[in-house]
Amino acid sequence: MAFLKVSSSLMVVVFLFPTLSLAFPGSGFGWDNGGYFGGGHSGLFPGFYQFSCPQANEIVMSVLEKAIAKDPRMAASLLRLHFHDCFVQGCDASILLDDSAKIASEKRSGPNNNSIRGFEVIDEIKAKLEQACPHTVSCADILALSARGSTILSGGPMWELPLGRKDSRTASLSGSNSNIPPPNSTVQNLITLFKRQGLDEADLVALSGGHTIGVARCVTFKQRLYNQNGNNQPDATLEKTYYHGLKAVCPKTGGDNNLSPLDFASPAKFDNTYFKLVLWGKGLLTSDEVLLTGNVGKTMELVKAYATDEELFFGQFAKSMVKMGNISPLTGSNGEVRKNCRRLN
């Protein structure tokens, strides 16, 4: 139910002319006004800002459109930001807090340091929302709205998004280091870390499809090129031409920050090409490749299914994003609505 089917011609119109969304009254996209249902048991619901800030999504989308036009990678970075927020003490904007006397910032964790980006765009959205609706829209909801908006603006699916998250008064640097899977994970490790968040194998495979956009640093896939199993040999599952291309970008020593697309065939378009590439031995990270070859559970079948049926992938991605977005939210009088996403009130 979370995946709203629209004719593909409408998808194209929205993709090419995102400002047309302003033609829908209210919160930017008409289907967002759909009332108080859709949040499951999370306590969140799509109409949360219907009266207090009906233009919230419209404001988010207008900042996103400009930011992504200027830097197409920004869509990917914002999608990932929501993931790295939700996997650490829930979707509570803990990832946005800077270092301070009370806070050890998650921005310095292994998975985040020199990697995670998009904070300036979130700041800009927050500033505009504080002007329009002071002290109303949480930073955690801004992250969720930005992840959905980035997906839509990249050509991916849309979904009805439960809202009403509050922002945390804490962060967890250690949680950020232990809960976010490393790129050289086994499939069993991926399944375990997702299960810890209440997410199953279908969620794992569909959400990994987020790697249909964006890039990764050489340091995150170097092991595969030069020493995958401690025997100084490359990962045998890497397709040969792709492997040689990657070595040119990512030398054995140095070049750690050189970038390679996660989906080189269509790096800025949200589609199911990622799964086709994984099938062909052209997935970039070990964590992408083991979904096919890890031989645990049903992840291989799911990769094949999403590679052949984009609608199926889009539908599951939408459902899984709602599920991920519902991880342990703070609601009601728990937490606060930060005035500045980088610090506590």
Ligand X SMILES: *[C@@H]1O[C@H](CO)[C@@H](O)[C@H](O)[C@H]1NC(C)=O
Residue 85 is labelled as binding a ligand: yes
Calpha distance 51→66 (Å, rounded): 26
Of 215 and 277, CB closest to ligand HEM: 215
Distance CA 221, CA 211 (A): 14
Task: Extract the tokens encoding 51.
Answer: 């009266």
Q: Does 106 belong to an annotated binding site?
A: yes
CB of 281 to ligand HEM, least distance (A): 18
- 């930001």: which residue's tokens? 81
Can you state the angle between helices 73-86 and 119-132, rounded to 10 degrees? 80
255 contacts ligand X (rule: CB under 6 A): no
Exactly one of 26, 72, 182, 297 binds ligand X (CB under 6 A); which one? 182
Which residue number, 237 or 328, has a Cβ lying nearer to ligand X? 237
**Footprint of ligand HEM on this chain (CB under 6 A)?**
73, 76-77, 79-80, 83, 115, 117, 181, 183, 185, 190, 207-208, 210-211, 213-217, 220, 262, 285, 287
Q: Which does 83 bind (CB under 5 to 8 A by kind): ligand HEM, ligand X, none?
A: ligand HEM
Taking the CA atoms of 327, 332, 334 and 337 in sequence, report the sign of the dihedral they define: positive
Q: Assess 108 for contact with ligand X (CB under 6 A).
A: yes
* 82 in a known ligand binding site: no
Contact of residue 184 among ligand X, ligand HEM, none (CB under 5-8 Å per partner type): ligand X
- Give the nearer residue to ligand X in terms of CB position, either 219 or 344: 219
The answer to whether 293 and 236 are in contact (CB under 8 A) is: no
Cα separation, 14 vs 265, in Å, equals: 22
Burial code of 130-169, b = ≥16 C-beta within 10 A, e = fewer? beebeeebbbbbbbbbbbbbbbbbbbbbbbbbbbbbbbbb
**Is residue 5 part of the contact set for ligand X (CB under 6 A)?**
no
Indicate whether 184 belongs to the interface with ligand X (CB under 6 A).
yes
Per annotation, catalytic residue among 41, 82, 84, 244: 84
Q: How far is the CB of 66 from ligand HEM (least distance, A)?
A: 18
244 is catalytic: no
Helix (H, G, I), strand (E, B) or coil at 215: strand
88 annotated as belonging to a binding site for a ligand: yes
Only segment of 20-28, 106-114, 193-201, 263-271 that touches ligand X (CB under 6 A): 106-114
Give first-to-last CA distance, the chain, whole Å: 37
80 binds, among ligand X, ligand HEM, none (CB under 5 to 8 A by kind): ligand HEM
List the one residue from 19, 52, 100, 114 that touches ligand X (CB under 6 A).
Answer: 114
Position 252 contacts ligand X (CB under 6 A):
no
* Torsion on CA atoms 274, 89, 125, 257, rounded to nearest 10: -50
Residue with tokens 């329009």: 132
Whichever of 209 and 335 has its CB closer to ligand HEM, that residue is 209
170/142 Cα distance (integer angstroms): 18
**Interface with ligand X by CB under 6 A: which residues?**
108, 113-114, 182, 184
Positions at the binding site for heme b: 211
Residues with active-site annotation: 84
